[in-house]
Amino acid sequence: MSLRRQLTLSLVIILVLFAVNVGTHFWGSYARNESMLAYRNSVSAAQLSTEVEQLLEDQRQQILILAALRETTEERLGDAELQRAEDALVVINQKIQKLGKLSRGVTELNYDLLWQSSSNLLKRWLKFYRSYNDPTFQMNMNDPLPFLQASQRLSELEQRQEFIAAQRSDIIDRTIDLTDRITVIGFFSSIFLTATLGYFLLSYTNTSLKRLKKGTERFGSGDLNYRIDNIDDTGELGDLADAFNDMSDKLRNAIYDVHKARDSADEANAAKSMFLANVSHELRTPLNAIIGYSELLHDEMDDKSEINRPQFQQDLGTIIHSGRQLLALIDDILDLSKIETGKMSLHCETFNPTVIIKQACDVLAPLLRSNHNELRVSGLEELPALYNDAVKFRQIFTNLLSNANKFTQDGHISVSAQEVPERPGWITFTVEDTGIGITRDQMSYVFDAFVQAESSTSANYGGTGLGLAISRDFCMLMGGSITVESEIGVGSSFTVLIPTDPELTHAAA
């Protein structure tokens, strides 16, 4: 269970106990007030019963005296005396009615009997007072039965009310005792439960926080493989542990990426250093030839002897060849710089790819013969015209053929082309050689700039490692692609995919 749910459950339990305590208190107060009110009513009813009993007794004595005077004298009852007598009866009747308001529930039956007997008695007395001055009126006022009956009913009501008052008093005592016990029990239960829940919550939270602290310390010390996985919580603490673990994974991956980037940067720096060394060598070679033959021709011009014109012309050809070689190297570097800065653009025109490829083959024919390589051409007869950059197209195949010839000795180089049946509007050109080949690992970076398959390649075969990188970038710029397949000791095969449709050229470029 999560920490939030545990805290919520604990709070609910404490609130329930608090509500029970408060409810018990209010229930006890209500029951106590009700019992106290009933007790007060019972006491008031008992007092009123005693008062009514006294008034009835006084009125009966007065009636007996008046009855005796009426029989022995002819004295008449005055209006004022009659009015006082009627008022006294009204007072008695009102007190009996008031007694009835206090008599509810178990004493109601006793009051009904009292009301019936007292009403008959008061009517009898009222009739006596009003007929007192009538000589013909006859009533036996000495008959004690009506008075005794009313007194008996009043006594029964009074006894019942005393019994009820005693019961109410006992109920009040028991209610007070019960509510006090419930309140005390609820209070101590709340304290105990709160302390118990607090202890377990603190123990659980403290244990989880210690594990989180240990995990953060391990992470801080560099142990990113450590995992906080022993927290039994599906809520906040568990989420926090998962967040720490995720942070550790991300940090570990970030550190790995940084190390990898650093290694790549080191490799790139090493490759560029190697490239600078290769470029220095490649630049030095034609420059030395240009300078050497220029000095030689200069010295020959100072001689007064006759100039050997064929030898002179041959030396000038060497200078021109070295200059062109140097220019080609500089052009490669400039092309790569333009590609990396995004300033290389296409100059599209319609051209015949067969003618361009044959021209490249003718230019490289002397190099092919120097390595005793045979050039084989196939599938170039019925190629459609291309709308693309003819200069870059020529340079791609010049680089590929030159690269194939460089790594092939006493072998053959094949150039072929065909339209792609499953992809209308595209042509594949393949340059295949029987040279030394490259490994699968080397194929992953053979198109990278400044990189050659092996560090010894430049020393053994020459070159700067820019040709294939420029060819790949040109293919991508022209809307196509270039791939390689190779096997050590068997040879390599470079495949160029170029669109023929002008719309495809613009869409892919």
Q: What is the band of 278 on the pLDDT scale with cuts at 50, 70, 90?
A: low
Q: What is the band of 230 on the pLDDT scale with cuts at 50, 70, 90?
A: low
Q: Is the pLDDT of residue 453 over 50?
A: no
DSSP 3-state percent helix, strand, coil across the chain (nearest 5): 70, 10, 20
Q: Is the pLDDT of residue 151 over 60?
A: yes
Nearest-angstrom CA–CA distance, 73 and 92? 28
Q: Which of 189, 97, 197, 113 is CA-nearest to residue 150? A: 113
Q: Is the pLDDT of residue 33 over 80?
A: no
Would you say 323 and 286 are in contact if contact means Cβ atoms under 8 Å apart? Answer: yes
Q: What is the band of 233 on the pLDDT scale with cuts at 50, 70, 90?
A: low
Identify the pLDDT of residue 229: 67
Identify the pLDDT of residue 458: 45
| Average pLDDT score over residue span 26-33 | 73
Would you say 397 and 351 are in contact if contact means Cβ atoms under 8 Å apart? Answer: no
Considering only residues 40 and 335, tell me which one the structure prediction assigns the higher pLDDT.
Answer: 40
Q: What is the mean pLDDT of the chain?
A: 79
**Phi, psi (rounded to 5 degrees) for 501:** -80, 130
Q: Which of 371, 406, 413, 401 is CA-nearest to residue 471? A: 401
| SS3 letters across 58-98 | HHHHHHHHHHHHHHHCCCCCCHHHHHHHHHHHHHHHHHHHH
Would you say 365 and 321 are in contact if contact means Cβ atoms under 8 Å apart? Answer: no
Neighbours of 151 (CB within 10 A): 20
Structure tokens at 37: 């009110």
Nearest-angstrom CA–CA distance, 388 and 474? 11
Nearest-angstrom CA–CA distance, 408 and 498? 26
Give the tens place of pLDDT for each residue, 309-327.
787 777 777 788 667 767 7
| Average pLDDT score over residue span 231-251 | 69
Nearest-angstrom CA–CA distance, 149 and 429? 139
| Average pLDDT score over residue span 380-402 | 88
483 strand-pairing partners = 495
Give the tens place of pLDDT for each residue, 90-100.
999 898 888 88
CA distances from 233 to 5, 14, 194, 395 (A): 10, 22, 21, 66
Listed in sequence order, the residues at least 6 apart from 461 whose beta carbon sits closer than 8 Å to its beta carbon are 406, 407
Identify the pLDDT of residue 416: 92
Q: What is the band of 154 on the pLDDT scale with cuts at 50, 70, 90?
A: confident
Report the range out of 134-143, 206-215, 288-297, 481-490 with the highest average pLDDT.
Answer: 481-490
Would you say 289 and 322 are in contact if contact means Cβ atoms under 8 Å apart? Answer: yes
**Phi, psi (rounded to 5 degrees) for 293:** -70, -30
Q: Is the pLDDT of residue 415 over 90?
A: yes
**Phi, psi (rounded to 5 degrees) for 107:** -100, 5
**Phi, psi (rounded to 5 degrees) for 418:** -160, 150
Considering only residues 211 and 82, tell me which one the structure prediction assigns the higher pLDDT.
Answer: 82
Lowest mean pLDDT among 148-162, 287-301, 404-418, 445-459: 445-459
Considering only residues 357 and 336, tell me which one the structure prediction assigns the higher pLDDT.
Answer: 357
Q: What is the band of 272 on the pLDDT scale with cuts at 50, 70, 90?
A: low
349 strand-pairing partners = 388
Neighbours of 260 (CB within 10 A): 10
Would you say 432 and 492 are in contact if contact means Cβ atoms under 8 Å apart? Answer: yes
Considering only residues 265 and 89, tell me which one the structure prediction assigns the higher pLDDT.
Answer: 89
Identify the pLDDT of residue 459: 46
| Average pLDDT score over residue span 288-295 | 76
| Average pLDDT score over residue span 8-19 | 77
For the chain, list the domains and their CATH numbers.
3-201 (1.20.120), 235-343 (1.10.287.130), 345-508 (3.30.565.10)
Give the tens place of pLDDT for each residue, 361-376.
888 888 888 889 999 9
Identify the pLDDT of residue 485: 92
Lowest mean pLDDT among 234-248, 255-269, 391-405, 447-461: 447-461
**Phi, psi (rounded to 5 degrees) for 420:** -90, 115
Q: Is the pLDDT of residue 454 over 70?
A: no
Nearest-angstrom CA–CA distance, 439 and 490? 11
Q: What is the band of 432 on the pLDDT scale with cuts at 50, 70, 90?
A: very high
Say how far residue 332 (Cα) sits from the centre of its chain.
53
Identify the pLDDT of residue 465: 66
Identify the pLDDT of residue 232: 61
Nearest-angstrom CA–CA distance, 359 and 395? 11
Give the tens place of pLDDT for each residue, 400-414.
998 899 889 999 999
* Radius of gyration of the chain, Cα coordinates, nearest whole angstrom: 63
Question: Taking the CA of residue 7 as centre, how many other CA atoms within 13 Å lie in the half-sphere pointing to its CB?
Answer: 9
